[in-house]
Amino acid sequence: MGRMRKKSDLPSKICETCGLPFTWRKKWERDWESVRYCSERCRRSKSKES
């Protein structure tokens, strides 16, 4: 089994659409470097903001 980590120990980024911080998720493990949005909703609304 993997070691448990505190949420505060996980890396975080700022969402480009809403500007709120979000933390690393297991589903983003392979492509964390390319994740730019905190949610699908923010990703879809990116063109409306610009």
* Cα 17 to Cα 43: distance, rounded to the nearest angstrom: 8
Confidence of residue 46 (pLDDT cuts 50, 70, 90): confident
Q: What pLDDT, on a 0 to 100 scale, did the predictor assign at position 1?
A: 57
Cβ-in-10-Å burial (0-12, 13-18, 19+) of 38 comes to buried
3-state secondary structure of 14: strand
3-state secondary structure of 17: coil
- What is the number of other CB atoms lying within 10 angstroms of the CB of residue 42? 18
Which one is predicted more confidently, 3 or 44?
44
Confidence of residue 7 (pLDDT cuts 50, 70, 90): confident
Between the two ends of the chain, the Cα-to-Cα distance in Å is: 43
